Homo-oligomer: A and B are copies of this chain.
């Protein structure tokens, strides 16, 4: 039942494009779901994709366009004339149309808008372009169903039919007063089974209405929809007037993007990149943290330089430098990952600061004792008890401190409204490298009485 994209199919399609065998293309493509068609076009050259795209019906074109990969869609749109883009926009939901326009230059946007035939749609899009793309206003669409408090059920059904034409998925009807202020919700199910003589004011739900303000951040809206299990959320302006709605599919995108962003940030990548991004773009996104890491390495060299005397006396001290730095880094990353996740979930009603630190101290003590004992055991086995003692004592101290730093740094960053995921990356690792070496050599100097 589901389509599997094969090399074979792709070759046949390319052949059909070369031969301009439109019958073959239409017959084989129309069967597919638009998300599969988009996957297919992602694999073609721009010229090939364009050829296939214009064999689709306008509705199919709109659906496929929004499913293309972003870089491929941008390239595709750049190869279209303003009039062609305007035609595409008229079949899209207003939020999608605004997203696509937002990628173009200001001049081009004006040109495209002026070429649109549907003035109302053009107005909606222009309004949406005013909002920052990371806010509820930037996410919302102008297509939604609203009912007035004093409408009867039968009037509402008539209006629903009229409004419903351009709204693809009707989840909930938003109820507004005479001033267009949001006052409640009405489920489609409830409307259908109501007596047609009843009025909306007798049916609608007015308690616990969750809405978003146009200026709310998209992350905020995503968390709210997630927390309250919403499939769509009404968006209101500063006067509480209903201006749009956001549907769950856009929110799922944001949840995925947020998770990707955190994962990348924790991995030391400073700009959002895809595996399809250019070599240049990937290099640049990775450089900042590598530079910080290198700075950390130079710091670490300075720390060790302070102990060259000890190293020249006991050269074997140098052997465990990587063990100490690696363990400090690992523990730091582990503990900060847990804090970052808890913060991302907003599990922080009250001041858990102290509680987290106490817990991390216990975890550090437990793991520290365990691992330090193992390394001491190994050293005894090889008959080097002094070095073993130095390594195990300092490993223990490093594990406890690295865990504490890994916990405290994201908490501090979060308090100053800096994304705590930053901390999980080379930041904590680098800091723990320097700290770990200092502890290690200090303990070494003390125990060897140097």
**Could you tell me which A residues sit within 8 Å of B by CB distance?**
1-2, 5, 7, 31-33, 35, 39, 43, 157, 160-161, 164, 169-171, 187-189, 192-193, 207-211, 226-229, 231, 248-249, 251-252, 255-256, 259-260, 262-264, 266-269, 273-276, 279-280, 282-283, 286-287, 289-291, 293-294, 296-298, 300-301, 304-305, 308, 311-312, 315-316, 318-327, 329-331, 333-334, 336-342, 347, 349-350, 352, 356, 359, 362-363, 366-367, 370-371, 374-375, 378, 399, 424-426, 429-430, 433, 437
Contacts and interface: CB of A to CB of B under 8 A. Distances in A.
18 contacts: A2-B210, A31-B207, A33-B210, A160-B192, A188-B189, A226-B252, A229-B249, A252-B255, A259-B260, A264-B337, A264-B338, A283-B367, A286-B334, A287-B371, A297-B327, A308-B316, A326-B426, A330-B426
A336 B374 CA distance: 30
Nearest to A348: B275
Contacts of A327: 290, 293-294, 297
Given A171-B171, A304-B319, A316-B308, A329 B267 contact: no
Contact of A308 (B263, B315, B342): B315
Contacts of A262: 259, 263
A322 B334 contact: no
B323 A297 contact: yes
A231 B171 contact: yes
Given A2-B210, A228-B35, A363-B282, A296 B189 contact: no
Nearest to A308: B315
